[in-house]
Amino acid sequence: MSLTGAALGAGLGSSLLAAAAGTLLPRRARRVGAGLGTGAAGAAAVVAGGAALSGHPWDAWYPDLLPLAGIRLAVDPLSGLFLAVTGAVAMCAAVYGVGYARGGPRGGSGLDGRVTQAMVPLFVAAMLLVPAAASASTFLVAWELMALTSLLLVVAEHRRRAAVAEAGLWYAVMTHLGLVVVLAGLVGFAAAADGESFTRMRAAADGMSPAVRGAVFVATFVGFASKAGIVPLHVWLPRAHPEAPSHVSALMSAAMVNLGVYGIVRVGFDLLGGGPEWWWLLALAAGAASALYGILQAAVATDLKRLLAYSTCENMGLVLLGVGASGLFAAVGSRPLAALAMTAALLHVVNHAGFKTLLFLSAGSVVHATGTRDLDDLGGLRSPMPATTALFGVGALMASALPLGNGFVSEWLLVQSLIHALPSGGTVTAVTMPLAVAVVALSAGLAVATFVKAFGVGFLARPRTPAAARAHESPATMLAGMAAAAVCCGALALAPGWAASGLTRAIAVAAPGPDAVSAQATLRPAGLPSTMSPLVIAVALLVAVVGLAALLRAAASRRARRRARLWDCGAGPMSARMEYTATSFAEPLQRVFDDVLAPETDLDVTPVTESAYLVDSVTYRARVGDRIEHRLYRPVLAAVEWTGQAARPLANGSVHRYVGYGFYAFTGVLVVLAVLR
Amino acid sequence: MNHVLYVRLLDLACGAFLLAGVLVLWRRDLAAIVRLFAAQGVALGCLVAVLGVDAGDPEVVGLAVGIGLLRAVALPWLLRRAMTAGGAGRETDPRVNVAASLMVAALLALLAYAVTRPVVALDPAPAVRAVPVALTVVLIGFFVLVTRRRALSQVVGFLLVDNGITAVAFLTTSGVPLIVELGVSLDVLLAVLVLQVLTARMRAAFGDTDLDDLRELRD
């Protein structure tokens, strides 16, 4: 057995051990046991993924593990990439979870129960199995296992908040609808290929009719896109990710959604071997819609974790944009650009996993310390929680697509591939690519505003509520988990060449071609005139900042320093009520995008009883709902509800009637059979 | 075993099996219904035993003994205990009267014969030819579930369905594996225990075991 297989086996084994530890150990030891086991599983997965990425593929068939089909596993470089990402996220989340599950000073969190403790390692194991699966049945089993374990984790805190149950319901329904579509697609594919192992399907894909290939692609694309939180199938994501415990949010948002992208790349590029242009235009359109809508909603969100969840929609949209562009380039025959776009997409998956882990873990640290996620209730966390503030600041910088952040590197590569498409492609690329560039640029700009809001309103200035004022720094294990994620982000930001060259073999699976990016300290997309060196940018920025600070200092020291009260317009001492809130910060954006967001405002003026002209009180409520959910899902839900109500007379409570339905249906079918045969 | 004797015995067992099922529709006295069910259990045991002896498979014969004990002794005993705990001893006012029920049973038998023609055509051995009988018992059991009001008759209807399914299984295959039959039997036993508890609770709540009283529980 190769290193890859051994490490993957060790990862799965130690997550099972961790689950056993979470179930059997006493309450105090449970957290540590399960956390260590999950961390070890993550480390093993990183080793397995690294080995696969450096060219040690592995495959195995266990015919007796499942009836009929058995379990078929194979790790190629593409699987290895997703294994490594999942493993790294799991390591950070596991270490963090040891401290987080103990709960804040206001009593236990209830997260050290048996079910929750056992489910985290099982969830990680399922996420390791999904990319390692090498047959349709194995893949679907792992996919469903992942959905079930994550569902149980989403509802872990259902006794504390009423919203958890609703989020769980949405998630359960959406994830199972997604499973049904993926199942239909893969089963149809396997039937047409006359075999369900991926090798067989890959070999048979070329000979299929375009209609079958198109149907398979659309079905699997819809299912996988719903897992990746792509608009308009995203509705579960901004509910479920915030309501889950924070280390689970990190696992879901940084590792689980990636597997939706993995599914699209695996089926669309690897198994079906690419397809016509309309497939990839579909992907481009979905990705663009998701990127814009996600970041717009994030920009106006006031719930910290909801903001991060919408940002996940945005980033997955950008990844899908890259994937779609890559497919489109491959379809029109420009291989180097296809490889470059795929590099950008996969690198963005890695980068997003890094900063989203960090951000969700820091948001969890804030929730742990203050008990609230509402940005309008936070503020002033800098002095009581310096480490968390610094780490969230790093995460916000990484996420906002500015130089020094790792998100910038992959978005730069993405824009490079899109811009240089113009001369090579046909009319379709000439029209779509500039639009795609505009989408990336707009979403990057909005992302900056979003994360400035999250960091500035949430952490700086003065505390707005007593809960925020009583905040305290998180325990060392939580800080360690966050710091590990921050170190990974920093490495990815400063030395992306190292990561990009590690991806070479994974990209070759999806978009075969010459090396897309020649990477030392400077990133140099092959065949394009542009270069970028994050390290040089970082040094230059550092020099500029230090120089500017020194200059200001020198200028300031010429004059004698004078101590005075802060200018407050004469309105008396400044209070926390005068600060910018998340709502007010986002208000201009909300105004600009009024047509898209359609915020609901509610103005209620109550006059004094004696006179209609004297106002007694004014109530103003503004809420930015999810418009897609409102327009697309509510009518469907209403129709289902109406059908249910209309069918109520059928069920009048009589047991005989219910049994009778069964009897008449059964004999009816038999009569039909008897007549037809 | 002599082939002629085997066919005779098989037919006899199947006939008794079917007759007991039809008679359940005819009788309205609950004690008699339970006796008929026990008789059907004996017939089923004999049927399986005949199949086992003919195949020379001691495991099937052992299974026949187990099935006989469960369905002719243990389950009737449980039912009788539920019955003596109180409540009316007669099936009052079935939803379809006795004459019509017997008529329907005849129609169901016709349906079963019509539906199983392809199965019989696959392998017209004596055992497979008896499959329609077993299917008829399944349908009759279902019909009992739909038309009889008392909780106890419902349990018997459910058990008729199960008897019929067991008979189909043994008639179409050359012996059901022990583990499968064991699982099925345990299931049946548990279902009857649960239904017995349910009957007692219904009697405590409504003073009667007419299942239509449950309608009051609907919101």
For every residue of A254-266, which 3-state class applies, written as one string? HHHHHHHHHHHHH
pTM: 0.82
The closest CB to that of A653, out of B115, B154, B214, belongs to: B214
pLDDT of residue A512: 75
Same domain, A322 and A447: yes
How distant is the Cα of A652 from the closest Cα of chain B, in angstroms? Answer: 7
Q: Would you call A293 exposed, middle or buried from its count of C-beta atoms within 10 A (0-12, 13-18, 19+)?
A: buried
CA distance B152 to chain A (A): 14
How far apart CA A512 and CA A498 sit, in angstroms, is 20
CA distance B53 to chain A (A): 33
The answer as to whether A233 is a domain residue is no
Cβ-contact A378, A464 below 8 angstroms: yes
Contact A674 B111 (CB under 8 A): yes
DSSP B70: I
Identify all chain A residues contacting B142, using CB atoms and an 8 Å cutoff: 659, 662-663, 666-667
Please check whether residues A647 and A532 belong to one and the same domain. no
Categorize the per-residue pLDDT at A649 as very low, low, confident or very high, splitting at 50, 70 and 90.
confident
Kindly report the nearest CA distance between residue B91 and chain A, in angstroms: 15
All residues of chain A having their beta carbon less than 8 Å from the beta carbon of residue B139 are 666-667
Whole-angstrom distance, CA of residue A62 vs CA of residue A65: 6
**Closest Cα to residue A255, out of A131, A141, A71?**
A131
Q: Which residues of A touch B147 (CB under 8 A)?
A: 656
In a domain, residue A77? The reply is no
Does A569 map to a domain? Answer: no
Give yes or no: residues A640 and A506 share one domain.
Answer: no
d(CA B83, CA B89) in angstroms, rounded, equals 7
Judged by CB atoms closer than 8 Å, whether chains meet at A656 and B147 is answered as yes
Amino acid at B125: A
- For B141, the 3-state DSSP assignment is helix
Shortest Cα distance from A667 to chain B (angstroms)? Answer: 8
Nearest CA in chain B to A663: B142
What's the confidence (pLDDT) of residue A86? 96
Of A546, A565, A599, the domain-final residue: A546
Cβ-based contacts under 8 A for chains A and B: 48
Same domain, A416 and A518: yes
**Cα–Cα nearest to A189, from A152, A156, A163, A214:** A214
End-to-end Cα, chain B, rounded Å: 61
Q: What is the pLDDT of residue B94?
A: 78
Say which residue, A576 or A360, is predicted with more confidence. A360
Q: Which residues of A touch B218 (CB under 8 A)?
A: 651-653
Calpha distance B44→B60 (Å, rounded): 13
Q: Which residues of B touch A655 (CB under 8 A)?
A: 154, 211-212, 214
Amino acid (1-letter code) at residue A114:
R
* CA–CA distance, A579 with B93 (Å, rounded to integer): 78
pLDDT band at B89 (very low <50, low <70, confident <90, very high): low
Q: Tell me the C-alpha to C-alpha distance, in Å, between residue A290 and each of A310, A314, A327, A588.
A: 9, 6, 18, 22
Answer yes or no: do A397 and A537 share one domain: yes
CA distance A159 to chain B (A): 26
pLDDT tens, residue by residue, A504-517: 888 888 877 666 67
Q: Which amino acid is at A533?
A: S
Residue A495 has pLDDT above 80, yes or no: yes
A677 contacts in chain B (CB < 8 Å): 117-118
Which bin fits A194, alpha (ψ -120 to 50), beta or left (φ > 0)? left
Q: Which of A494, A521, A546 is the last residue of a domain?
A: A546
From residue A578, how far is each of A106, A373, A581 by CA, in Å?
30, 20, 9
Q: Does the pLDDT of residue A566 top 90, yes or no?
A: no
Domain annotation covers residue A283: no
Instruction: Look up residue A393 and give its DSSP letter.
Output: H
pLDDT greater than 80 at residue B96 = yes
Task: Say which of A659, A667, A673 has its CB closest to residue B145.
Answer: A659
Vertex A563: Cα angle to A561 and A567 (nearest 5): 120
Q: Has residue A219 got a pLDDT over 70?
A: yes
Closest by Cα among A322, A214, A308 to A265: A322
β-strand partners of A600: A623
Flag whether residue A654 sits within 8 Å of chain B, measured between CB atoms: yes
Q: Is A436 among the domain residues?
A: yes
A660 part of contact set with chain B, CB < 8 Å = yes
Q: Percent of chain B, pLDDT > 90?
A: 38
Residue B217 forms contact with A (CB below 8 Å): yes
| CA–CA separation, A132 and A223 (whole Å) | 19
Look at the block and give the residue holding tokens 């692609």: A217
List the single residue in A651, A656, A673 with the smallest CB-CB distance to B146. Answer: A656
CA pair distance B102, B190, nearest whole angstrom: 30
Most B CBs within 10 Å, among A667, A672, A675, A676, to test the B interface? A667
What is the C-alpha to C-alpha distance for residues A611 and A605, in angstroms, rounded to an integer? 13
- Read off the pLDDT of residues B130-146 as tens digits, 9 standing for 90 and up: 999 999 999 999 999 88
Which of B111, B117, B211 comes nearest A671 by C-beta? Answer: B111
d(CA A550, CA A542): 12
pLDDT at A467 over 90: no
Q: How far is B156 from chain A (nearest CA, A)?
A: 14
Q: What is the mean pLDDT of residues A477-493?
A: 93
Closest among A226, A124, A241 to A183, alpha carbons compared: A226
What pLDDT was estimated at residue A309? Answer: 95
pLDDT, position A520: 61
pLDDT digits (tens, 9 = 90+) for B119-177: 888 888 888 899 999 999 999 999 998 888 888 888 899 899 999 998 998 888 866 77
pLDDT band for position A576 (cuts 50, 70, 90): confident
Tell which wins on pLDDT, A517 or A187: A187
Residues A643 and A542 in one domain: no
How long, in residues, is chain A? 677
Spatial contact of B69 and B182, defined as CB atoms under 8 Å apart: no
How far apart, in whole angstroms, are the C-alpha atoms of residue A506 and residue A499? Answer: 11
Q: What is the mean pLDDT of residues A319-325?
A: 95
Burial class (CB in 10 A: 0-12, 13-18, 19+), A597: buried
State the best of B108, B113, B117, B215 to mutate against chain A, taking most chain A CBs within 10 Å: B215
Specify the 3-state DSSP secondary structure of A397: helix
**Does residue B103 carry a pLDDT above 60?**
yes
What is the pLDDT, as a whole number, of residue B191? 84
What is the pLDDT averaged over residues A495-500?
A: 82
Q: Would you state the pLDDT for residue A425?
A: 62
pLDDT at A17: 93
Interface contact A656-B212, CB threshold 8 A: yes
- pLDDT at residue number B86: 62
For residue A357, the enclosing domain spans: 308-546
Interface probe with B: pick from A658, A670, A671, most Cβ of B within 10 Å: A670
Number of domains composing chain A: 2
Q: What is the pLDDT at residue A1?
A: 63
Is A592 contained in some domain? no
Residue A424 scores a pLDDT above 70: no
Q: Which of B139, B164, B148 is CA-nearest to residue A670? A: B139
| Interface residue A644 vs chain B (CB under 8 A) | no
Is A636 a domain residue?
yes
DSSP-based three-state secondary structure for A618: strand
Q: pLDDT tier at A390 (50, 70, 90 boundaries)?
A: very high
In sequence order, which residues have a C-beta less than 8 Å from that of residue A570 and are 6 or more positions away?
none
Burial class (CB in 10 A: 0-12, 13-18, 19+), A465: middle
- pLDDT at site B17: 94
Separation of alpha carbons B189 and A579, rounded Å: 71
Question: What is d(CA A260, CA A149) in angstroms, rounded to the nearest whole number?
Answer: 16
**A405 shares its domain with A539:** yes
Q: Pseudo-torsion of CA A543, A487, A229, A227, nearest 10°?
A: 150
Cα B134 to Cα B173: distance, rounded to the nearest angstrom: 13
**Final residue before a domain boundary, out of A484, A518, A546:** A546
Burial class (CB in 10 A: 0-12, 13-18, 19+), B128: middle
Q: Among A296, A324, A321, which Cα is nearest to A310's?
A: A296
Question: Measured between beta carbons, which residues in chain B are less than 8 angstroms from residue A667?
Answer: 108, 111, 139, 142
Q: What is the pLDDT of residue B95?
A: 80
Among residues A334, A591, A365, A375, the alpha carbon closest in space to that of A474 is found at A365
Q: Measured between CB atoms, which of A655, A666, A674 is closest to B142? A: A666
Q: Is the complex ipTM higher than 0.95?
A: no
Confidence band, pLDDT 50/70/90 cuts, at residue A104: low
Q: Does residue A519 belong to any structural domain of this protein? A: yes
Retrieve residue B188's tokens.
Answer: 């049946």
Is B214 close to A659, i.e. CB distance below 8 A?
A: no
Given a cut of 80, whether residue A561 has pLDDT beyond it is no
- Rounded CA separation A472/A354 (Å): 25
Q: How far is CA A165 from the centre of its chain?
A: 21
Considering CB atoms only, which of B114, B143, B217 is closest to A663?
B143
